[in-house]
Amino acid sequence: MKTESMKLCIVAVAMLLICSAGCSGEPAKPKMGKVSGRVVFNGEPVEGAIVTFIAPGAPRFASGVTDAEGTFELTTFEKGDGAVVGDCVVTVAKTEAGSGPKNAEDLAKGIPVVPAKQLLPEKYSSVGKSPIKETVTEGVNNIQLELVE
């Protein structure tokens, strides 16, 4: 009888170990590649643009913001981890904030709504229209994005 109880105990412990190792509830991360680069528009670096890499079927997209020199580093799950390996559609967007009434009193005064303004050609900010396609590989990817009017 003790042997039978001992076997059940060993099986239970083994099941717990298996579940704690492989049943965490979080899917395994896909293969990733580090991605950094630079964005220029009409030959000039673009500061404050949001660069996004969208890989079809990936659990998340990767994004980063350009600095004063136009350089960026992408993040998907953790800071600087890059993008999911594969073919990606790339968007680049930079907007100037809009303005408008902040409360009912402003609305009553007739303060107009000024929509946000795109500072780069709209085609670059739309997943469906972006002409930019890049392939991310495992390892380090340095990608130069040259936007034109």
**Percent above pLDDT 70 for the chain:** 82
pTM for the structure as a whole: 0.75
Give residue-wise pLDDT tens across range 23-81.
Answer: 455 668 899 999 999 999 999 999 999 999 999 999 999 999 999 999 999 999 999 99
Instruction: Identify any residues that bridge with 135 across adjacent strands, giving them in sequence order.
Output: 87
Strand-by-strand arrangement of the 133-136 sheet? 62-65, 50-54, 86-93, 133-136
Dihedral sign from CA coordinates of 46, 50, 56, 59? positive
CA distance 133 to 130: 8
Give residue-wise pLDDT tens across range 66-116.
Answer: 999 999 999 999 999 999 999 999 999 999 988 888 888 888 888 888 888
Which of 13 and 116 is assigned the larger pLDDT? Answer: 116
CA distance 42 to 97: 22
Domains of the chain in start order, with CATH, are 29-147 (2.60.40.10)
Dihedral sign from CA coordinates of 136, 137, 138, 143? negative
